[in-house]
Structure 1
Amino acid sequence: MSKVYVSSASPYSCKVLMAALHAGIVVEAIATEASKEPAELLASNPLGKIPSMVTDEGEAIHDSRVIIQYLNRQSKGVLFPRNPQKRTEAEKLEALADGICDCLLAQVYERRFRPEDKVHQPWIDRQMVKVQRALDELNAAPPKLTGKVHAGHMALRATLAYMELRFPGQWAKSRTKLKRWAKKFDEKNAALVALLPA
């Protein structure tokens, strides 16, 4: 059984676990504090970042998007649409969701790892502007959920859950279409929802 080093609060970890479950691939999720740089994590990823996977054969795979591509190949393509254009759209959605997470984490880390008097508020504000701009675009044209769920959907749902965890109430405010999208995703994918960041 493959091992995946994860954190329950990490949206990147969440989407990988969601993808594995959806693909029917059983993995051992190992709760990991990346900040403590455990030897097992560093052996699988010298950057010390999560998620990181170690396959049955001992091959280390990282980061989350590479892991998902691996899971997609192992499951004969269930995580992405087969149509080339639709696959590109799914991959773009995953990239946008990951980019939002990057901006959110930049804000979290700025406050977590700097003394209060060293926190650079303009940097935080700039990251949030990027987040709000991306969310507005998604709200204007939410991804379709009429077909099969794909990795892009999972990445976006994990992102929204992470934002709710760290920035309560901010993503859903005045974004009724995106809020309805998240509700519909949850209704259709109860098993995946159980893996959302918490």
Structure 2
Amino acid sequence: MIQILYSPTSPYSAKVRMAAKHAGLEFESVMVNTSVAPENLISANPLGKIPVLITVDGQSVFDSRCITQYINRVTGSKLFPRQSEKRLDAEKLEALADGLCDVLITQIYERRFRPEEKVHIPWLEKQWEKTERVLAMLDETPPRIGKRIHGGHIALAAAMSYLALRFEGRWEKKYPKLKRWQKRFNDLHPDLAEFLPRAV
């Protein structure tokens, strides 16, 4: 069976596991602790980063966008639209959501891995400006969502859940449409809730 190496808190892990579930791909979730560089992770991805999808014949697929494209191929385009313009829109939304995650995680790491007196506040402020630009754009025109979703919707749901987990109270009032979008996604797709980022 296909395996997905993941961390429960990682939005990228959440994205690919939700994508696999939504596309009907059977897989086994294998939790790893990246901080200790376990052998099963390092042998699958020398970068030591998650998620990693391991195929039934032992091939490693990473990073998360490569994984979603792999899932789309092996499931007969169940994750992204076939029509080129719609597919491009979905892929752009995935890229934006992943970029939002990148910016959020760098802020977490800046505070987690530096002594308090060495945390670079101006740099953190710059990263939060990027965060707010993305949130403002998405709040102005939230992606349309219904029962039919694609990889871009899933990536955004993972990003918004990570934002809610790590930055609670800093964005909800300012971006109410986006908060409603997150709730609507969760209400329409409760089967994916178990994969959303969570603290451990």
Query: 1:34 — aligned with what?
Result: 34
Query: 1:102 — aligned with what?
Result: 102
The answer on 1:20 being equivalent to 2:30 is no
Q: With structure 1 as the length reference, what TM-score do the two structures score?
A: 0.97
Equivalents in 2 of 1:63, 1:197: separation in Å?
Answer: 17
Equivalents in 1 of 2:195, 2:172: separation in Å?
Answer: 20
Identity, in percent, stands at 49
Query: 1:144 — aligned with what?
Result: 144
Equivalents in 2 of 1:119, 1:39: separation in Å?
Answer: 32
The answer on 1:179 being equivalent to 2:179 is yes
Q: With structure 2 as the length reference, what TM-score do the two structures score?
A: 0.96
Letter in 2 for 1:142: P
Query: 1:43 — aligned with what?
Result: 43
Equivalents in 2 of 1:147, 1:9: separation in Å?
Answer: 26
How many angstroms does 1:170 deviate by? Answer: 2.2
SS of residue matched to 2:4? strand
Query: 1:112 — aligned with what?
Result: 112
Query: 2:192 — aligned with what?
Result: 192
The answer on 1:169 being equivalent to 2:169 is yes
The answer on 1:159 being equivalent to 2:159 is yes
SS of residue matched to 2:143? coil
- What is the correspondence of 1:83-94 to structure 2 with a 5 Å cutoff? 83-94=83-94
Letter in 2 for 1:27: F
RMSD, matched Cα? 1.0
TM superposition outliers: structure 1 runs of 4+ over 3 Å = none
Equivalents in 2 of 1:137, 1:81: separation in Å?
Answer: 23
Equivalents in 2 of 1:146, 1:3: separation in Å?
Answer: 29
Q: How many residues align?
A: 198
How many angstroms does 1:54 deviate by? Answer: 1.1
Equivalents in 2 of 1:22, 1:147: separation in Å?
Answer: 11
Structure 2, unmatched stretches of 5+, are none
Letter in 2 for 1:118: K
Query: 2:61 — aligned with what?
Result: 61
SS of residue matched to 1:194? helix
How many angstroms does 1:184 deviate by? Answer: 1.4
